[in-house]
Amino acid sequence: MSDFKKKIKHLREDFNRYKIDFKNLPEHPVSLFSKWMEQALEKNDEANAFVLSTVSDKNTPSSRVLLLRDFDTKGFTFFTNYKSIKANDIENNNNVALNFYWPKFQRQVRIIGLAEKILDLDSDKYFSSRPRESQIGAWVSQQSAIIPLDTAFANKMQNMANKFKGKKVERPLNWGGYKVMPKSVEFWQGRPSRLHDRVRYTLDKGSWKLDRLSP
């Protein structure tokens, strides 16, 4: 067996850095999410990166990494192309799953919820805060469309930049945000002997029910 394959088989992290204080859990999962995110941002690169899973109209699941741009007690916001594969999936079935993994804290957060498009005004606001190159890029890319192998984006970017020269770059209407309203949020904290701490918040008639799960 090659060395790196042996490494995969035997790579073992000892999870012993933190624990969940089951006696002092906040009522709302977003309070704990907020605390964990704040800590992760201090130590992890791209702590706002998460995996979004969707399901297609053919029942095929699909996952990809995105960046969280905002969150509050109502939900979790990200931005993307409204004609992308994920957007098509969401149009057909807006049940989605988000997964955050923060290795330096040996933590995972799993969220299940419903994705809804945010207001155009809010997408406009965020779009206008992005670097100009990213704004122009959003006009150039038809995200997830099949394109010729020899596609050169430099020319397309230049043409688009010329089009917007001296003008504000408006948000393309097929680019904007989604907010995921959580139904369930699970916090996972790695612990020794694989006896990890898990706590799951589930929305039950408007209030959050709390369960500890076996590792």
Ligand X SMILES: Cc1cc2nc3c(=O)[nH]c(=O)nc-3n(C[C@H](O)[C@H](O)[C@H](O)COP(=O)(O)O)c2cc1C
56 is a contact residue toward ligand X (CB under 6 A): no
Residue type, 179: K
67 is a contact residue toward ligand X (CB under 6 A): yes
> Min. distance of Cβ 51 from ligand X in angstroms?
9
> Min. distance of Cβ 141 from ligand X in angstroms?
9
The answer to whether residue 194 is catalytic is yes
Q: Is the dihedral of CA 202, 28, 206, 114 positive or negative?
A: negative
Q: DSSP assignment, residue 22?
A: G
Burial class (CB in 10 A: 0-12, 13-18, 19+), 39: middle
Only one of the segments 24-32, 78-86, 114-122, 201-209 lies at the binding site for ligand X (rule: CB under 6 A); that segment is 78-86
Of 94 and 202, nearer to ligand X (C-beta) is 94
- Closest CA relative to residue 89, chosen from 45, 121, 58, 130: 58
Q: Which residues in the 130-159 window bind ligand X by CB under 6 A?
A: 143-144
The one catalytic residue in 194, 198, 200, 212 is 194
Exactly one of 66, 140, 157, 181 binds ligand X (CB under 6 A); which one?
Answer: 66
Q: How far is CA 188 from CA 46, 84, 180, 196, in A?
A: 19, 31, 20, 7
Residues at the interface with ligand X (CB under 6 A):
46, 49, 62, 64-67, 78-81, 84-86, 143-144
